[in-house]
Amino acid sequence: MSRYNIEIAKGAGFCFGVKRAVQIAEKTADENGGCCTLGELIHNGSEIARLERLGVYPINSPEDLPDGKTLIIRSHGVAQSVIDHINDKGINCIDATCPFVAKIHDIVSKAEGHVIVAGDPDHPEVIGIVGHCKDPNEVTVVRDSDELEKVLNLQDFTRQSALIIVAQTTFNSSKWQSCKKVAKKHYTNIAIFDTICSATAERQHRTEELSERSVLMVTVGGKNSSNTAKLAQISQKHCPVIFTEDGSDIDKAAVSELLPLQGGTVGITAGASTPAYIIKEVHRIMSEILNNEEGFDFMAEVDKTFKKVYIGNRVKALVVAVNKNEAVVDLGTKHSGYIPASELSQDPNADPSDVVKVGDEIEAIVTAVNDAEGTVTLSKKKVDSVLGVEKLAAAMEANETLEGEVSSVVKGGVIIISNGTRVFIPASQTGVPKDGKLEELLKKTVPFKVIEVTEARGRVVGSIRQAKKEANDAAKAKFWETVEVGQKFTGEVKSIESYGVFVDLGGVDGMVHSSELTWNRIKHPREIVKIGDKLDVYVKSFDPEKKRVSLGCKKEEDNPWNKFVAEYHEGDVVDVTIVSITPFGAFAQIIPGVDGLIHISQISTERINNVAQVLSIGDEVKVKIIEINEEQNRVSLSIRALKEEMPEEEEEAAENDAE
């Protein structure tokens, strides 16, 4: 037979709640000469038979309890009415309800509006949950998202004071995600409680991961076990599955038919009600069938899942679920790990789903252990902070410039989150003026330098101003090393003066004279630019010693002089507009960007002493081009020349018309 490797899914077998219930039953039977459970303690026939040999017997009703015996409520829990009945009869009772189930009881018992339960309506756990709701008429049980869709389409819950949805602890994780999407689509204000047991989520995740790379999966557990059936369903999506309660019904011929010739991994997973000794027996049987003689210390592997964790332990964890309140993690033990949202990141506004994803392997520090409930509370941000401080100290030693987002404004400065660590930036080091607002930096990614680290206290101080200064110094040095006449830049207008504008070229400011801004006549640069504008400029000249750069902005292709000389010639008669008056004449605009001078001697055939007595700004007059000086870009115009060319009678008529 080809080579096959047998692998047991992590987290297979007893969960904390079941293990706790079994231990309670064993101890009670030992101390009291037997005891009874209200219904079968767990969904596993072989284990029930073993417990009966120890004196633990299931009964169907409190009335069936023999005199003097103790009654144990199984891990599935029961309705509140059943608990009240037991108390009224004065029965000696021990409640072994799983802490995760008890948590759901507490949630639904306090709900003021309608309660939706995602789960199997015939499962004892769901029956118990429904029995803890305030009003049995205000409860709906759905098996999947399709049923939920139908319920929400048929019933109007908008008048409800509140609407909540919870899940059976062993509900299928993917089905639950679908239910949540449907619920949010219909009611944005619905309260969603992620109540699937973390051990269930972890077991399903590990089973799916193993089945994806296996050629055959063996699912071990009671045939009437809800969570075991779900493991089989998950595995069937990826490979053939054998479902067995204790291994005794596994047929070698059937196994051989399902196995491929090339060999591969054979996976074993087990439901929460499957004890370790049954998993071990199934492993032995499969090893014999596959002639797998490799050494395997099964109990050592099982013991790993029950290893102790202590406050202060730094552990590795696999993220198996994320919601708005917490991340659920697999520690490789039977404990359920939780990282509250406040312990995921130093940023109080961070969304947990942005910090970690399902499948991420992370490090965290144990902050609390509740052995009674089988839960462990952890902190990721404490580990991140320790590692972050070390990295930031190294960055300071190397004089590195880092980047980080300003997450909050605090007294005396701002906070940047970098490498999972809070970095304090004093106000004096932010680069914001004294009269400026620090809030302008919020949510902005900025460069900074680490200037102080106190590792013992986990305190890190940084400076934005120093980082920017170094960047500016480096940019200036590079500029003066590489600048050339004609070099083009796109820069930001930093200041505006009457004679021109200053443009930031990247560490160095250059000046564009007003005459270089545009081909058109302007009185002040503010007519065409404002602070913050982007300008395309080129270097006209520079002086490294005086640190001065003269820039040009006008483009030759836009030069109106070129258009003028192409379209106008000496002797042409044109209409112009007077744009300025001087003692020696008047300047008139021929086309935008090209003015010509009408000398005082060319204004009239008669002698005049004051140009302003004859012409005014804005006057439109007809002139003759008498000279074009292309070397100096000058144009001479004449009104007189036109008058001299007019016949006397036309001149008289023109004068009469003017009167």
CATH of the domain at 436: 2.40.50.140
Both 418 and 493 in a single domain?
Answer: no
Residue 369 and residue 376 in contact, taking contact as beta carbons nearer than 8 Å: yes
Domain boundary among 353, 383, 413: 383
> Tokens 């196994």 sit at which residue?
255
Residue 51 covered by a domain: no
Please give the Cα distance from 497 to 659 (Å, whole number). Answer: 47
Residue 451 and residue 466 in contact, taking contact as beta carbons nearer than 8 Å: yes
pLDDT score at 400: 92
Please give the Cα distance from 432 to 406 (Å, whole number). Answer: 13
What's the pTM value of the predicted model, to 2 decimals?
Answer: 0.52
Buried b (16+ CB within 10 A) or exposed e, 1-35: eeebebebbbbbbbbbbbbbbbebbbebbeeeebb
Please give the Cα distance from 30 to 28 (Å, whole number). Answer: 5
Long-range contacts of 326-329 (CB under 8 A, 24+ apart): 326/352, 327/352, 327/355, 327/356, 327/380, 328/194, 328/198, 328/201, 328/202, 329/198, 329/362, 329/364, 329/378
Residue 289 and residue 299 in contact, taking contact as beta carbons nearer than 8 Å: no
Q: What is the pLDDT of residues 56-111, one digit of tens each?
A: 999 999 999 998 899 999 989 999 999 999 999 999 999 999 888 998 999 999 99
Please give the Cα distance from 638 to 651 (Å, whole number). Answer: 16
pLDDT score at 658: 47
Both 377 and 420 in a single domain?
Answer: no
Please give the Cα distance from 338 to 330 (Å, whole number). Answer: 9
Residue 1 covered by a domain: no
* Marked catalytic residue, from 40, 125, 245, 343: 125
Q: What is the pLDDT of residues 401-434, one digit of tens each?
A: 999 999 899 999 999 988 878 899 999 999 898 8
Quick check: 298 pLDDT over 60? no
Residue 547: DSSP 8-state: T
Residue 520 covered by a domain: yes
pLDDT score at 542: 94
Both 542 and 598 in a single domain?
Answer: no
Average pLDDT value for the chain: 88
Residue 388 covered by a domain: no
Total domains present in the chain: 5
Both 650 and 565 in a single domain?
Answer: yes
Both 405 and 428 in a single domain?
Answer: yes
Both 594 and 649 in a single domain?
Answer: yes
| Side chain identity, residue 570 | E
| Residue 125 among the catalytic residues | yes
Both 515 and 578 in a single domain?
Answer: no
Residue 142 and residue 118 in contact, taking contact as beta carbons nearer than 8 Å: yes
Both 512 and 572 in a single domain?
Answer: no
pLDDT score at 205: 87
Domain boundary among 425, 440, 469: 469
CATH of the domain at 115: 3.40.1010.20
Q: What percent of the chain has pLDDT over 90?
A: 52
pLDDT score at 656: 54
**38 pairs with which residues across the strands?**
59
Domain boundary among 543, 558, 573: 558
Residue 243 covered by a domain: no
Pairing of strands 35-38, 71-73: parallel
Both 334 and 356 in a single domain?
Answer: yes
Confidence of residue 307 (pLDDT cuts 50, 70, 90): low
Q: What is the pLDDT of residues 601-651, one digit of tens each?
A: 999 988 888 999 899 999 999 999 999 998 888 999 999 999 888 765 455
Residue 301 covered by a domain: no
Angle made by CA atoms 87, 90, 95, in degrees to the nearest 5 = 50
Residue 572 covered by a domain: yes
Residue 248 covered by a domain: no
Both 651 and 589 in a single domain?
Answer: yes
Both 516 and 580 in a single domain?
Answer: no
Helix (H, G, I), strand (E, B) or coil at 425: strand
Both 574 and 651 in a single domain?
Answer: yes
Please give the Cα distance from 209 to 217 (Å, whole number). Answer: 11
Q: What is the pLDDT of residues 513-554, one digit of tens each?
A: 998 898 887 889 999 999 999 999 999 999 998 889 999 998
Q: Domain range holding 564?
A: 560-658
